[in-house]
Structure 1
Amino acid sequence: MPANETVLGSTRRPEDYLPPEQGPHDEEEPLIPPETPPPAGSAVCGTAMLLIVFGLLISTVAFASLYYHLLGAPRLPKWPKPSISPLGKYSRAAVAADNELCSEIGRNTLLRGGNAVDAAIAALFCIGVMDTHSAGLGGGHFMTIYNSSTQKCTVIDAREVAPKAATETMYEGRWNESRTGWRAVAVPGELHGLWTEFEKYGSRKISWKSLVQPTIDLLEEGFPTSHALAEALEGKAQYIAGESTMGEFINPKTGKVYRTGEQIKTRKSLLNTLRRLANTSNPLQEFYEGEMAREMASEFKRFGGILTEADFASYRSLVISSSDVIYTSLKNDRVICGPPPPSGSAVAQAILNVMDGYKYNMKKFKDVSLLYHHFIESSKFAYAARSWLGDPAFVHNATNIARNITTKKWAEWVRHVEAKSLITDETHPDEYYGGSFLAPPQDHGTTHISVVDSHGNAVSVTSTINL
């Protein structure tokens, strides 16, 4: 690091995550203009599709990858085994979810003539049951859609929003209420996003009901408790036992929360909800403005929550156009696209952008070691920048910072090709990498689905309930 350069520290400002010569900036006039969307002919894919390459490095999401051949009519096993390859190669299409049954539901949707969006919707309904601790109707998601015909990306922001009665001080002295209990729940966006995606980007060859029905079948017939779900239930066993509305997670045969492999057939409330949503011509009317919204608002009031009918009625998911999507260009005409803040897509893009500037001979042990080291160090700088990101409605520099950390100039600054590299052959104290805090909150990750259909369309969707 040059002698006249101040070491990055927790007291630095967000503009310090631009190259050193840059000063304070306004979001309306970025000093480093965002790189233009990819020209025709460029290969574009969602952020998570490239992250699959790094699956063994980050080890945050276990993907069960499945493929199909459209030539002929192959006989498909009911429960196909997941690929043992960390990087699968498929001839026509692929669905990757972190539960095998949900991957199959998505794959079967493609076989029935659906496109990548249809398959992602069907798989996400399934994830809401199989990984109910990570996603579901009570949460929200970001979906990035790549259209192979236009070679452009669109994003649906269906994340939750705070109820109108929420205040900045409502959790003071009782922080645990921000994660558990009725006051922890925001206005859910999951269903609004799924219906918007179906209406605007679905194939029109698959009905809405047929996308929900496979998950209804799972609930009716029963499904095995995954290790991840069992672990999450065990971690909240005491809370579940004391919460009258969560009795469906108690195995009636044992009197305890479900354990790995045990069949769950007690999710009757969710089953009835999905049946109602599958059989209505307008699920948004039913969920956000109809009888279902009134039932939920009444329940929140009865148990001390602050969600109201007005909160449900006012919710809208956002369609983010191609021009506002975050893009990063890599070698060999590869381009990543993903949502702007409050999504953290720019963080993943920044890491890959820094790594793209290195060259390795993978036959040399030293280069292999350096690859891992550079990946870890790049992640530290990118996650330090992440601490300055947030909802642009409240963090006015968030979008500008996201665009800057995905530029070649920022990546070169981290590698510091013209001077001593910020990424050295050593690791450093936390303050070296910067960030607005040195002790980040617990971050458990969430669920993700990636789909590519036979026409080259791709979907990358991250869903969460923030647990």
Structure 2
Amino acid sequence: MKATALACGLALSIVLQPLPAAAGTPVATGTGGAVATISAQASQSALAILDQGGNAIDAAVAAAATLGVTDPFSCGIGGGGFMVIYLARDKRVITIDHRETAPASFTPHAFLENGKPLDFDTAVASGAAVGVPGTVRGWHEALQRYGTMDFKQVLAPAIEVANKGYPVTEIFSHLTAENERKFQLYAPTSALYLRSGKAVQPGAVIRNPGMARAYAEIAQGGVKAFYEGPIARAIVAAVNTPPLNPGKTARAGRMTMADLANYEARIRQPLRSTYRGYEIYGMPLPSSGGATVAEALNILEGYDLKAMPRAEAEHLYLEASRLAFADRNAYLADPEYLDAPVAGIVSKAYAAERRKLIKRQAARSAHAGDPYSYQDDQSVPLRPQSKGLQLENAHTTHLTVSDKDGNVVAYTFTIESWGGSGIVVPGYGFLLNNEMTDFDFSGPHPNVPEAGKRPRSSMAPTIALKDGKPAFTIGSPGGATIITTVLQTIFNYIDLGMPMDQALNAPRLSERNGDATSIEPGFPGSAQARALQGFGQRWEAAPEEIGAANALVFNPDGTVTAVSEGKRHGVGTALVQRRGH
């Protein structure tokens, strides 16, 4: 599509006088409510809501809305997510699926041209990549069903941050610079985050009155303001006629007002598994996170990992992850479009069969198993072959909140790629997702695009109970590495006996049944790396930071410890209502 010069509306102002950034506090222990996010402002928003008498659900939405301002390239109202909630009064766990859906115009050939898959980056930076956003509908369901406050109350802190502004951090500027080419395509995005075509520098203060306006309209008009009002019309216009800079081109989408008006969130039963005395509650499909973590843990449960040298235990963790990913890649997708063999995948008996395939030397590639034989299924289902790992972007965010009454939220939400599609909605200051590129571009495969379908996700917000009470939460961004970050942190905490802050900050190893394991900078050549190489493990050539996790631990003495990153994505912020002594 040829560029048209469009007005950016209320976009953003940038003040070049630096403001001091709030210092991150990655670990805090105390009583009352607790929160951990990667953003000081988001954690402070959650704590403010808790201090006003709101519960964990109210505070989680407040934190998420603020993250949409301060971490706009990872999340926001232009995307979707998965929320896992422990309801203390009912002693039960529920989940809210507000994953984006494909517009009604989608077909399995959406990302094919002349019978061949589109270039991935070209597909990402386009209106065609935008799914129907689910975040606002998810927040609405959470507040209406389980919260105590309304949009006007919980969005107030985020509106204040958007209007007053926040300082650009080193990582914000660095990651903007890495995506300059995508942001240069679109006029409102360039106005927001670039100056003379280059990333805004650290220390500058970003104010976003456009996003404040969007939140204010939602606060006033509720969920319909987003899905049926002026915001909806602006979204449809931006998708179908991308607001390009002169001389730029990008593929247009085909989204309608009906796509937005018809969007529904899903209240789903969590996927429950057990591991060494813990009940592990995760997301069911269309997230592959819960099932893949459960399968890998079931495989590991057959070993006495505490009695092993660390390198041997970590080798088994990597191989269990490899096998679980082989099944994940073959079978899992939106449950409303296929009957995936989840019961078989998460069964202990199936794990015992898969465990037999692990050798002392690392495998190069695992094949999918046959989980259908391990569930009560009298049909003759399709048994697809495992495909190679689909390219999946790694930019998402996770937060976790608890309150004085014992309610707990683990929440992961996203706009997919760093900066999503790259399209900022003119006049409203938020980025639209590129979630449709989470589909497999070609088939046959369970995860091919279809109208109304939710693309398979890796998000894995997790709540663990012990003796019927919350024990810990964990979750992370990172595309498919989300699954391995959650799995490895649980393995570190339960099997290696690390305190949660050490479990979360340990070097991450992500084995997703690829040619080599993903690792972080500084790991190659270490004693840990050399020990694992003795088991035949090998590493990707270009180490990169993996994830930015957040966790809560509920201690036996009644206190709670909030844990965020000590180094990744800057330093996270953990807060409690009343500090322990």
Give the shorter-chain TM-score range. 0.7 to 0.9
Q: Which residue number in structure 2 is paired with residue 15 of structure 1?
A: none
Cα distance, 1:432 vs. partner? 5.4
Q: Determine if contact 1:346/1:403 at 8 Å carries over to the other structure.
A: no
**Residue 279 (structure 2) pairs with residue 339 (structure 1):** no
Q: 1:1-400 alignment to 2 at 5 Å?
A: 79=22, 81-83=24-26, 90-173=30-113, 174-176=118-120, 177-202=122-147, 204=148, 206-252=149-195, 256-265=198-207, 267-278=208-219, 280=220, 282-303=221-242, 304-320=252-268, 324-332=269-277, 334-344=278-288, 345-361=290-306, 366-387=308-329, 388-394=331-337, 396-398=338-340
* 1:430-466 alpha-carbon deviations (Å, 9 max, x no partner): 1457771234324425211122222221111111112
- SS in structure 2 of the partner of residue 218 of structure 1: helix
Q: Determine if contact 2:180/2:197 at 8 Å carries over to the other structure.
A: no
CA distance in 1, matches of 2:93, 2:131: 28
Q: Describe the shift of the 1:91–1:407 C-alpha distance in structure 2 as closer, same or farther (beyond 3 A).
A: farther
- SS in structure 2 of the partner of residue 456 of structure 1: coil
CA distance in 2, matches of 1:354, 1:260: 45
* 1:88-126 alpha-carbon deviations (Å, 9 max, x no partner): 755443212222321222222222211111111111111
Q: Which runs of 5+ in 2 are unaligned?
A: 1-20, 243-251, 370-384, 418-581
CA distance in 1, matches of 2:304, 2:347: 19
CA distance in 1, matches of 2:255, 2:191: 23
CA distance in 2, matches of 1:381, 1:262: 46
**Residue 452 (structure 2) pairs with residue 452 (structure 1):** no
Cα distance, 1:425 vs. partner? 2.2
The one-letter code of the counterpart of 1:368 is R
Q: Determine if contact 1:354/1:378 at 8 Å carries over to the other structure.
A: yes
Q: Determine if contact 1:130/1:226 at 8 Å carries over to the other structure.
A: no
- SS in structure 2 of the partner of residue 106 of structure 1: helix
CA distance in 1, matches of 2:37, 2:222: 25
CA distance in 1, matches of 2:353, 2:36: 34
Moved more, 217-226 or 114-123: 217-226
Q: Which residue number in structure 2 is paired with residue 441 of structure 1?
A: 391
CA distance in 2, matches of 1:309, 1:353: 44
* 1:220-243 alpha-carbon deviations (Å, 9 max, x no partner): 111122444333322220221231
Q: Determine if contact 1:187/1:311 at 8 Å carries over to the other structure.
A: yes
Q: Which residue number in structure 1 is paired with residue 352 of structure 2?
A: 412
Q: Determine if contact 2:95/2:267 at 8 Å carries over to the other structure.
A: yes
CA distance in 1, matches of 2:398, 2:359: 33
CA distance in 2, matches of 1:311, 1:335: 38
Q: Describe the shift of the 1:292–1:361 C-alpha distance in structure 2 as closer, same or farther (beyond 3 A).
A: closer
Q: Which residue number in structure 1 is paired with residue 482 of structure 2?
A: none
The one-letter code of the counterpart of 1:220 is N
CA distance in 1, matches of 2:305, 2:55: 37
The one-letter code of the counterpart of 1:247 is S
Q: Determine if contact 1:130/1:229 at 8 Å carries over to the other structure.
A: no
Cα distance, 1:132 vs. partner? 1.6
Q: Describe the shift of the 1:89–1:378 C-alpha distance in structure 2 as closer, same or farther (beyond 3 A).
A: farther
The one-letter code of the counterpart of 1:311 is D
CA RMSD of aligned residues (A): 2.4
- SS in structure 2 of the partner of residue 293 of structure 1: helix
* 1:23-73 alpha-carbon deviations (Å, 9 max, x no partner): xxxxxxxxxxxxxxxxxxxxxxxxxxxxxxxxxxxxxxxxxxxxxxxxxxx
TM-score (norm 2): 0.59
CA distance in 1, matches of 2:171, 2:412: 17
Q: Determine if contact 2:151/2:222 at 8 Å carries over to the other structure.
A: no
TM-score (norm 1): 0.72
CA distance in 2, matches of 1:145, 1:139: 20
State the identity as a percent: 28
Aligned with 1:465 (options 386, 395, 415): 415
Q: State the 4+ residue runs in structure 1 displaced beyond 6 angstroms.
A: none
CA distance in 2, matches of 1:409, 1:164: 40
Q: Describe the shift of the 1:297–1:325 C-alpha distance in structure 2 as closer, same or farther (beyond 3 A).
A: same
Cα distance, 1:391 vs. partner? 0.8
CA distance in 1, matches of 2:193, 2:388: 39
Cα distance, 1:158 vs. partner? 0.6
Q: Describe the shift of the 1:361–1:182 C-alpha distance in structure 2 as closer, same or farther (beyond 3 A).
A: closer
Cα distance, 1:328 vs. partner? 0.4
CA distance in 1, matches of 2:202, 2:324: 36
* 1:151-187 alpha-carbon deviations (Å, 9 max, x no partner): 2111111111111112222321344453112121111
- SS in structure 1 of the partner of residue 112 of structure 2: coil
Cα distance, 1:342 vs. partner? 0.7
Q: Determine if contact 2:168/2:200 at 8 Å carries over to the other structure.
A: yes
